[in-house]
Amino acid sequence: TKNKMKPRIKVSPRSTTFKCSNCSKDDAQNRCSRCTAVRYCSKECQKAHWDWHKVACKHIRKKIVSVEKEMAKLEGRGKSWRITKMQPYLKERFDLAIGFQFCGEKNDSRLALELCLEHLIDILMFNRGDHSSCWAHIPGMLFLLDEPQEAYDYLKWWQVLHNDGYYDHTKFELPSGDKLKNENIFEDLSELNLSKKHVPWLVSMYMVKYKILRKIEKDKISYESFLLGTHPRVGEDSPIQQIGGVSVILHNIKKCFSPIDKYETIRNQTIQILKFIDSKNKYIIPGFLNYKVLLEQPNPLYVGEGGSLQDQAYGAVWFDIQHWEPVPDIFILTKELYIQIHGKVKAERDIAELPREKVSLAKVLGKAHLA
């Protein structure tokens, strides 16, 4: 199967309605004509929001122009990973996607985040060799968009992709990120071969499990409220009591809707994944929990698997902290679980001290996201 995709710059968001980035009113219709990434309910809101929006807006507009210039240079068709001329276009488009992410986070725009995600997926399907590491950004974007099931499906695909250590990117009949759907997010962790996974994959999976845990916690609260209605004294006025003595029906209702077993399963899995991360690199969890101290150091020259543990931790935290910051509760849960693993005294000492250990000294490298 040949790659018949054509270079493009426009993608469509997943949602059809978006709130105003200034006043949060639902179903805002006015769109910024410069960047097309934010919506407003009125011209007044758009004008009032401009001082806050203009940095991201101008960056996106600049990148759109750069992508258009690179598109104009491309001639003919072919498999993008074999065409050297394609790489400048893909790089500029990746930078555009990251610009949309920055805009989405800074301007509270789901539209911008969805555009970022669609660009990343498009680039990855266009360039299966993934020279821009789009794969590592996509789970974080799905995390921000509160789509943990799709993030899990995506991470399962990435596991399939590298399960045997080889993947022929030129064979489009092989599974791609959009072909695994509704994988069992509660399946035993032994199915995921955690011990063989690199830290970025584990961190992404931890983020997914966190989202699922939070969703089940809400279901658990609702279920506990339901159980109050089944109590003969506390719930004496509840419609539940109208079931009367039909205990079999009530038992089956509890069995079908109880989230307690799922809650325990996901919580235990979340702890296990955190333990795997910690066993691979003791600096990473303290690094996330005390990231400002870690990231105030200059960038290390190399942050991959071959670098020092401190350098790898810097890379992992720098890469994903942008996905954690808008979700403050993840820090609370992570610290709670880290204390549960190590004990309060050691955990708090590690959180305070490990991020202060120096990464390799090197010249400061340009960062992929906007300052």
Highest mean pLDDT, choosing among 110-119, 133-142, 224-233, 294-303: 110-119
Kindly state the average pLDDT of the residues 297-321.
84
More confident residue, 295 or 259: 295
More confident residue, 85 or 184: 184
Q: Is residue 21 a part of any domain in this protein? A: yes
The range of the structural domain enclosing residue 126 comes to 1-132
Does a structural domain hold residue 155?
no
Q: Which band of pLDDT confidence, cut at 50, 70 and 90, is reported for residue 44? A: very high
Between 80 and 295, the more confident residue is 295
Query: What predicted TM-score, i.e. pTM, was given to this entire model?
Result: 0.78
Q: How high does pLDDT run on average in the chain? A: 81
What pLDDT, on a 0 to 100 scale, did the predictor assign at position 5?
56
Lookup: tokens for 287? 């690094």
DSSP state of 307: S
- Angle (CA) 78 158 60, round 5°: 60
Question: Which residues make Cβ contacts (< 8 Å) with residue 365, sequence separation at least 6?
Answer: 299, 301
pLDDT at 215 over 80: yes
Task: Give me the amino acid identity at 176.
Answer: S
Q: What percent of the chain has pLDDT over 90?
A: 49
Give me the mean pLDDT over the 82-102 stretch: 83
Determine the pLDDT at residue 369.
38
pLDDT at 236: 53
Question: Is 201 inside any structural domain?
Answer: no
SS3 of 33, please?
coil
In a domain, 236, yes or no: no
**26 pLDDT exceeds 90?**
yes
Residue 265 lies in a domain: no
> What confidence score (pLDDT) does residue 245 get?
47
* Contacts of 200 by beta carbon, 8 Å cutoff, 6+ apart: 136, 316, 319, 320
Q: Answer whether residue 369 is part of any domain.
A: no
Question: What is the rounded average pLDDT of the residues 322-332?
Answer: 91
Per-residue model confidence (pLDDT) at position 371: 33
Question: pLDDT grade, residue 89 (50/70/90)?
Answer: confident
Task: State yes or no: pLDDT of 56 exceeds 60.
Answer: yes
List of residues 6+ apart from 35 with CB closer than 8 A: 56, 57, 60, 61, 64, 103, 112
Split into its structural domains, the chain has a count of: 1
**What Cα–Cα distance (Å) separates residue 207 from each residue in 139, 161, 247, 274?**
9, 20, 40, 10
**pLDDT at 262 exceeding the cut of 60:** yes
For position 225, what pLDDT does the model report? 64
Q: What is the mean pLDDT of residues 143-164?
A: 82
Question: Which range (168-172, 285-289, 293-297) has the least confidence?
Answer: 168-172
| 31 in any annotated domain | yes
What is the spatial distance between Cα 231 and Cα 243, in angstroms, rounded to a whole number?
12
Is 332 part of any domain? no
> How far apart are the C-alpha atoms of 330 and 324, rounded to whole Å?
7
